[in-house]
Amino acid sequence: MNFPLLLANRINVKGQRTFSKLIVRVTIGALSLAIIAILLSVAILRGFKEEITTKSKGIFR
């Protein structure tokens, strides 16, 4: 028996508004926002690291 498929079918009941469907949608939204925030912070930190490295190389030459 495929447990993930059974669970997905129970949550994805067509035509019915269930509380679990709302929870799943809110969770997916929150996870996507968290992943975007992590990627954005990593990109910003890499940019600062490169900028500081180039400036420090320019000072000590």
For residues 11-29, give the mean pLDDT.
78
**Domain encompassing residue 10:** 3-59
pLDDT confidence bin for 29, thresholds 50/70/90: very high
pLDDT surpasses 70 at 23 = yes
Nearest to 29 by CA among 41, 37, 40, 18: 37
Q: How many domains does the chain have?
A: 1
- The model carries a pTM of 0.60
pLDDT surpasses 90 at 33 = yes
pLDDT confidence bin for 60, thresholds 50/70/90: low
For residues 1-16, give the mean pLDDT.
76
